[in-house]
Structure 1
């Protein structure tokens, strides 16, 4: 009886091998389900109309008749929008621009080995680009208002973000084109995001005003957009396995395939180089901004100095003559040991900045007239970029006023002292300095003279001479605020 009870209480041991096998099966099942789900979610081949896509892209390549007039109108609209600094008008020009057609034709023809389409795409693309730049140039030459608006300046300095926008915009565009029942909203969105027309108009503007930096910068942005949209088209067409163009002559087919492959590689090489350069420039700018935020901006001034962070100039030139220019205003000088510490931190903690020079611009180290010249130049160079930012404009105007007053107080001391000695033979020494005074509403600069007379003069004589000298200084310097102290 007891043996039966003991046998009933024994719990059978679970097989660990069987348990592991079940876990593996469950995990494999989960992976398989996930794979199936992602395939159904992301696979675009079943819903692709290859023939209709090819016909639609080829139909948008020709440049004649209606397309030519649409392009001319879009050029004028974009030029006017850039000139008026109107984002809405610029967007309107992007939407109607037909420039995207030949670019898609370039990418597709390279992918499917279609030399005839490639030839037509290159021809029409070249004509469109030349006509766009020429029309924009004529507009800005003839139009009397040629302000450097922020919309124009935004197209002169492309970076890594422009590369990514062009590539993913191109992907979205060709995927939308390939879908049965084209998604028009995607096409419009890509036209806005990639912005092909405004850079070309900016090229025309740069040529019109003789600023080749603007022209080359905008042309570089347009080239980035073109290359990466074509590259995205090439990759998607390859992914969707569009049929290659066949030729009756097998030798011609092989030659054509080699030419198309070579052109595709040539397109991808500058695309890769452009991406790499833009990535390096972006890394440099990011580390420079980190350096400024972490090391420079926290510096505490004790006598009213000010770091002008908004006027920091970060210039990257692919490892040659790169620099970071920091602007400080006020009468307080940054100590040399602080600048040396910043240099050391820049080189040790921020590897991308090691070859960059650190330029420190601080007004108090220069003569007042140099400060005035610098602030004037700074104001002129930045006024278009800071348009609408009232606080910066007010600050610059205040700084200009202060420095102009300060410069107006500068006197030809050597000449004045020589004339004073001739007029007052008992004058032993004459000292001069500018002083800042305030009534707690405004700050002003006052010229102060200190005088010493020969020994032996009585108090009455000294008082009379002081009055005469003070009056003479006011007349000589044309400044009623001059003060005289014994």
Structure 2
């Protein structure tokens, strides 16, 4: 009996062992299947034609003859599209542009230690940049219409998204180039996404109008695109294990290998610095916008006042002395304790701890400053307006609002009623600011326009003019007030 029980136990344990081993085998088989599936899904080495890829990249490097004229024509088309603010035209120009060739050549030649290809790539890259900038400069310099369109301005301030677009665009381009039977649609898509041509056109535009900030900002964006496309090319070529160029002279081969490695490091250093800088700028801009939305915009004025978000100036300044400038308009000043609270609240935002907060209040500005803000409003809005009628409408509405603010700066209604009571011959009273200059300085003079009744005696009106002026100066405590007699109807 005991022997049978022992045998049953041995059989049971044997079955349990067999069962666990089968589960383990099934699990290993599943992992193997998943690994095989992912390998087939993501592996790009098996379908890569290394020789054809190398020949194709080298063939696209030179800029001469037909390629030069195609580049010039595409630059002209892109410049016209940027000038006309036409996205479709700019995309069409990027499709026919041959700008990618030398950049891919630089990345590939560094990866495989091909010094001859590197020299040709750098030479043609320089020719490409100079030819593009000169062409764009000539167009914008002689073309009579040179509006600062939104398409142009969008190429003057690169951010973290431009870095990512350039890097992943470069990856997609090289992978498409390496595939047997190149995927043309990918090449066209990358040409549009990385947008190498518009920044070069914007450089020419900035030089043509003498705006160095536009030119340097656009050149910075082009440099970002170039570095990260070349870096992506370098990484993919290394991943695909393209054969290194062999040299008969072993000493020369080692020297070239060291130079190529040094160049790769030199390219990666500014690439890393650029990525870090634009990333920090993006974080700062995000926190600054959140601060404005969460803390500034909800502020409620008790009287006439308005926060002008479009005028909010966020300056990163490469992390040195960052600044947030907020602009308010109206006849109500922001209390000092509220401003102090805002400054303390900025400390809650990690990127704003060393940021300077500046408050510009329209109620403490003179008429010249208000007119300056009207001009700034136009500059900030015109990039999103699509017609002259809309521009006129925006300017008219803002001028109307400023006139209302100006009329509220003195109790005009009360003044006019008091003047009518004291001077029975008074028919009409007007008020405005007169801006005058003697060409050395500009003055803003408060001016009252007076119209007397037709039947009024001239001697009495002259006497009343003098009394009215003295009364207004005393009533409003402003000795600069002037009176002007208007002709009778």
**Given the two structures, how large is their TM-score scaled by the length of structure 1?**
0.81
The alpha carbon displacement at 1:17 in A equals: 7.6
Alignment of 1:3-402 (within 5 A): 24-347=24-347, 349-367=348-366, 369-388=367-386, 394=393, 396-402=395-401
Contact kept, 8 Å, 1:386 with 1:393, in 2: the verdict is no
Where structure 1 has 5 or more consecutive residues not aligned to the other structure, the ranges are 411-432, 437-445, 452-461
Contact kept, 8 Å, 1:319 with 1:355, in 2: the verdict is no
Q: Distance in 2 between matches of 1:336 and 1:34?
A: 65
Q: Distance in 2 between matches of 1:143 and 1:327?
A: 36
Per-residue CA deviations over 1:15-74 (Å, capped at 9, x if unaligned) read 988776665554444333222211110000000000000000000001111101001101
Secondary structure of the structure 2 residue equivalent to 1:478: strand
For residue 425 of structure 1, what is the aligned residue in structure 2?
A: none
Q: Distance in 1 between matches of 2:290 and 2:361?
A: 21
Summarize the Cα distance change of 1:479–1:188 in structure 2 as closer, same or farther, 3 Å threshold: farther
Q: Distance in 1 between matches of 2:111 and 2:45?
A: 16
Contact kept, 8 Å, 1:372 with 1:404, in 2: the verdict is no
Secondary structure of the structure 2 residue equivalent to 1:333: coil
Q: Distance in 2 between matches of 1:116 and 1:175?
A: 23
Contact kept, 8 Å, 2:428 with 2:450, in 1: the verdict is no
**Count of aligned positions:** 435
Q: Distance in 2 between matches of 1:144 and 1:81?
A: 15
The alpha carbon displacement at 1:357 in A equals: 1.3
Summarize the Cα distance change of 1:286–1:391 in structure 2 as closer, same or farther, 3 Å threshold: farther
**Given the two structures, how large is their TM-score scaled by the length of structure 2?**
0.81
Summarize the Cα distance change of 1:472–1:144 in structure 2 as closer, same or farther, 3 Å threshold: closer
Contact kept, 8 Å, 1:295 with 1:342, in 2: the verdict is yes
Using the TM superposition, name which of 388-397 and 75-84 deviates more.
Answer: 388-397
Where structure 2 has 5 or more consecutive residues not aligned to the other structure, the ranges are 432-446, 453-467, 476-489
Contact kept, 8 Å, 2:112 with 2:244, in 1: the verdict is yes
For residue 456 of structure 1, what is the aligned residue in structure 2?
A: none
In the alignment, structure 1 residue 434 sits paired with structure 2 residue 411: yes
Q: Distance in 1 between matches of 2:430 and 2:374?
A: 29
Contact kept, 8 Å, 1:375 with 1:400, in 2: the verdict is no
Per-residue CA deviations over 1:288-321 (Å, capped at 9, x if unaligned) read 1121222222223333533222332221112213
Summarize the Cα distance change of 1:68–1:472 in structure 2 as closer, same or farther, 3 Å threshold: closer
Q: Distance in 2 between matches of 1:329 and 1:193?
A: 41
The alpha carbon displacement at 1:376 in A equals: 2.4
* RMSD value, Cα: 3.3
The alpha carbon displacement at 1:354 in A equals: 1.1
Per-residue CA deviations over 1:267-304 (Å, capped at 9, x if unaligned) read 11111110010110011111111212222222233335
Q: Distance in 1 between matches of 2:340 and 2:91?
A: 48
Q: Distance in 2 between matches of 1:217 and 1:311?
A: 21
Contact kept, 8 Å, 2:163 with 2:224, in 1: the verdict is yes
For residue 402 of structure 2, what is the aligned residue in structure 1?
A: 403
Summarize the Cα distance change of 1:365–1:101 in structure 2 as closer, same or farther, 3 Å threshold: same
Contact kept, 8 Å, 2:311 with 2:377, in 1: the verdict is no
Using the TM superposition, name which of 159-168 and 311-320 deviates more.
Answer: 311-320
The alpha carbon displacement at 1:356 in A equals: 1.4
Q: Distance in 2 between matches of 1:98 and 1:176?
A: 16
Q: Distance in 1 between matches of 2:273 and 2:20?
A: 50
For residue 486 of structure 2, what is the aligned residue in structure 1?
A: none
